[in-house]
Amino acid sequence: MTVLRVATFNVLHGMSLDDGTAGPGQLAEALSALDADIVALQEVDRHQARSQGADQAAVAAKALGAEHWRFLAAVHGVPAPVSGWLADAGNPERHVYGPEQDGVGGPSYGIALVSRLPVLRWRARRFPAAPFGLPLRVQGRPGLTRVPDEPRSMLAAVVERPSGPLTVLAAHLSFVPGWNVSQLARVGRSSADLPQPQLLLGDFNLPGRIPQAVVGRRERDANGPARPRRQRVRWRSLARVPTYPSYRPRVQFDHVFGHGLGPDAVRRTETVRMGVSDHCALVVELEL
């Protein structure tokens, strides 16, 4: 048996809630304290002025001592005050970046998956933005601000272990009700052909027990009767603890799910209030 420490953390582009700054040193210090083997990150900046031009996925990998990582750009461009993003017409595609693309490309924003364990292969999946936004509380602004949705994405890594491969999926889903449910169902189905056991990490923008209901429900065929899902993946929640907001957690938006794990695989779970972000990091220690 080996112990594996996994975490998911919405970094809010590394912004400190104390002074609103977002320097790479602050982010590195926060992540190094996690001491996790595999980390899924959301709201990650790459070459953005607001985070001092840092490649935050690379910063995270260095802080964790991890050689294997990918960053998946959901948006190419810079943040706009109200409209969400000013797209970079020169980079219309959403790219996957790794260590070999150091310094390549303009400003972007998305998710990252970082691993100390060797990765045998990677997979990416993208979801379009919802056609409408919602009024939300935005850090640093009074009241509610109408925020448009943005494209969403999922990264998967098949990780090499002495006892065999492990699949890790990392996702950041829409905040628009219904769209996030559909995206989570599709993420769950997308892993049927990947090795087991499997972990699913991320900010799903779905509270509490709702994600478990989504990945465990039955589907209906064209004739109406309920039937089991086509895929054999049966996910279960490995941690049920509030993670948001970081200064007084009341809601769980950040989740860790498992499939193909023994009933006693979870050694412990914890939420960690970091030096950055309005989310706590969610950490799960597994015995595999």
What's the rounded mean pLDDT across residues 32-61? 96
Distance CA 34, CA 16 (A): 17
In degrees rounded to 5, what are phi and psi of residue 2? Answer: -125, 150
From the centroid of its chain, how far is CA 252? 14
Domain residues for the domain of 158 are 3-287
Q: Mean pLDDT highest for which of 91-95, 120-124, 222-226?
A: 120-124
Q: Where are any strands of DSSP class E within 57-177?
A: 68-80, 84-87, 96-97, 108-115, 119-127, 134-136, 145-147, 152-159, 166-172
Query: Are the C-beta atoms of residues 235 and 259 closer than 8 Å to each other?
Result: yes
Beta bridge partners, 168, equal: 157, 199
Asked whether residue 259 carries a pLDDT value surpassing 70, the answer given is: yes
Tally helices (H) and strands (E) across the chain: 4, 18
Which of the four pLDDT bands, split at 50, 70 and 90, describes residue 224? very low
CA atoms within 13 A on the CB side of 221: 6
CA dihedral 172, 266, 114, 110 (to 10 degrees): 10
Which of the four pLDDT bands, split at 50, 70 and 90, describes residue 246? very high
Q: Which two tokens stand for residue 121?
A: 């292969």
The overall average pLDDT reported for the chain is 88
Query: Are the C-beta atoms of residues 154 and 145 closer than 8 Å to each other?
Result: no
Instruction: Summarize pLDDT for 76-115 with one digit per residue, the tens.
Output: 999 876 657 777 766 666 689 999 998 888 999 999 999 9
Write down the pLDDT at residue 133.
Answer: 76
By C-alpha distance, which of 184, 174, 178 is closest to 214?
Answer: 184
Instruction: Summarize pLDDT for 274-284 with one digit per residue, the tens.
Output: 999 999 999 99
Split into its structural domains, the chain has a count of: 1
Q: Which residue has the tokens 């996957």?
A: 96
Beta bridge partners, 80, equal: 84
Q: Which amino acid is at 253?
A: F
Write down the pLDDT at residue 220.
Answer: 39
Instruction: Summarize pLDDT for 136-193 with one digit per residue, the tens.
Output: 666 666 667 777 898 999 999 999 999 999 999 999 999 999 999 999 999 988 888 9
Q: What is the CATH number of the domain that holds 233?
A: 3.60.10.10
